[in-house]
Amino acid sequence: MNYSNIKYCDIANGVGVRTTLFVSGCRRHCPFCFNQIAADFAAGEPFTPQVEEQLLQSLDHPYVDGLSVLGGEPMERENQGPLADFLERVHERFPEKNVWLYSGFTWEELRGEVPVEAPYTTSPVTEATPRILSCLDVLVDGPFIEGEKDITLRFRGSANQRLIDVPASLRAGEVVLWRDDPVFESHTKE
């Protein structure tokens, strides 16, 4: 797996101050993607043990709330094995930190409940998929759709994308949406 970028002290991709990892590789090629350079699987640098350790060290501060993983597409089949190993290390070492992952695949596709949409012809589900999901607090799912772009939405670019509370969804056996800050929501719904 390659990564195209790492941001330290990011506040745009989840609640609070975060370390954000952008993995490389995406076959979807959404029009107007904010990170087209990361669509190339060879973009950036190899995700080595040294890079993993740098990320873990960046999380080891009380002001860092968690880790966010974006792409490219983290849930491309090629990325899932290395990503699952890394997220398990994060979860073990920092159980109090929350982990967000952004995927163009829907929850239902990642659970193997519905067929994938074009351009994919093969399910994204691998043996690593449930391992990854078990490490997540929030999954932002669905592709960016320019026609549904809404700059008033928090932590996502288009209205079709959902912020899913992964632990609650796994317990319930159905999608449970993540509850955002009610004070913020009350100011944005008019």
Distance from C-alpha of 6 to C-alpha of 1, rounded to nearest angstrom = 14
Query: What is the DSSP pairing of strand 66-70 with strand 18-23?
Result: parallel
Residues 6+ apart with CB under 8 A from 175: 107, 162, 164, 169
What is the reported pLDDT for 111? 96
Q: What is the DSSP string of 145-167?
A: -GGGB-TTSSS-SBTT-EEEEHH
Query: Which token pair is 118?
Result: 């074009």
pLDDT along the chain (190 residues), means of 10: 96 96 89 80 96 98 97 95 98 97 96 90 95 98 93 93 97 94 45
What is the reported pLDDT for 5? 95
What is the reported pLDDT for 188? 41
CB atoms within 10 A of CB 135: 21
Distance from C-alpha of 169 to C-alpha of 22, rounded to nearest angstrom = 25
How remote is the C-alpha of 2 from its chain's centroid?
Answer: 15
Report yes or no on whether pTM surpasses 0.85.
yes
Question: Is-cis flag, bond preceding 14, omega within 30?
Answer: no
Which among 172, 113, 171 is positioned nearest to 141, based on CA atoms?
113
CB atoms within 10 A of CB 168: 15
Distance from C-alpha of 34 to C-alpha of 46, rounded to nearest angstrom = 22
Residues 6+ apart with CB under 8 A from 110: 75, 103, 124, 125, 129, 133, 139, 141
